[in-house]
């Protein structure tokens, strides 16, 4: 049986006293939380040379209403450029209802995903190539996408 663990450690001196948060999660199936996730879409990268939105995770790729986890990282080094990340719709700045947020150069995110909507991203720049890295740890893959 596969085991996938994710650990996040946050340390800060933003307050008048140091803050350290460390949390580890074992990724498990929704129907059987004692069984780890055993599938993945594989680590993928995508280059963006303009601000056209692109679907990076398609809802029909995964079993709906399951305990998937999505990892996304903006591997670009320029902190002034970012990706809009959104559920289901165009990942545009005006799309505030569906947009999760902005992922700046060097930033990453890991979030739960039920597999029922597309995940869309769009680059904030048309003048510089940005590279996005992403992967889904899945509780059921329906069809392989490329």
Residue 26 lies in a domain: yes
Q: What is the mean pLDDT of the chain?
A: 86
Structure tokens at 137: 């740890």
Residue 129 lies in a domain: yes
What's the pLDDT at 108?
96
Cβ-in-10-Å burial (0-12, 13-18, 19+) of 21 comes to exposed
Residue 146 lies in a domain: no
Residue 81 lies in a domain: yes
Please write the tens of the pLDDT for every residue from 63-93: 888 889 999 999 998 888 999 998 865 455 4
Distances (CA, A) of 109 to 6, 8, 27, 60, 127: 11, 10, 15, 22, 24
Instruction: Give the other-Cβ count within 10 Å of 123's Cβ.
Output: 26
Residue 131 lies in a domain: yes
Give the DSSP H or E segment for 97: none
Please write the tens of the pLDDT for every residue from 16-44: 889 999 999 989 888 788 888 888 889 99
Question: Which residues are registered as beta bridge partners of 27?
Answer: none
Signed CA dihedral, 104, 67, 115, 131: sign only: positive
Residue predicted with more confidence, 74 or 114: 74
**Percent with pLDDT over 70 in the chain:** 90
CATH number at residue 42: 2.60.120.10
pTM of the full structure: 0.85
Residue 90 lies in a domain: yes
Number of compact structural domains in the chain: 1
Q: What single-letter DSSP state applies at residue 106?
A: T
Q: What is the domain range of residue 50?
A: 5-138
Residue 145 lies in a domain: no
């Amino acid at each position: 049986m596969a085991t996938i663990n994710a650990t996040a450690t946050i340390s800060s001196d933003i307050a008048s006293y140091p803050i350290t948060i460390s949390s580890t999660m074992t990724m498990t199936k929704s129907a059987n939380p004692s069984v780890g996730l055993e599938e993945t879409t594989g680590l993928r990268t995508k280059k963006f040379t303009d601000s056209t939105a692109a679907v990076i995770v398609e809802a029909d790729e995964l079993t709906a209403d399951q305990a998937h986890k999505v990892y996304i990282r903006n591997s670009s080094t320029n902190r002034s450029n970012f990706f809009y990340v959104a559920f289901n719709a165009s990942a545009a700045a005006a799309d505030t209802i569906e947009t999760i947020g902005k992922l700046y150069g060097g930033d990453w995110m890991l979030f739960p995903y039920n597999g029922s909507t597309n995940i869309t991203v769009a680059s904030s720049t048309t003048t510089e190539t940005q590279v996005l890295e992403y992967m889904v740890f899945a509780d059921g893959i329906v069809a392989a996408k490329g």
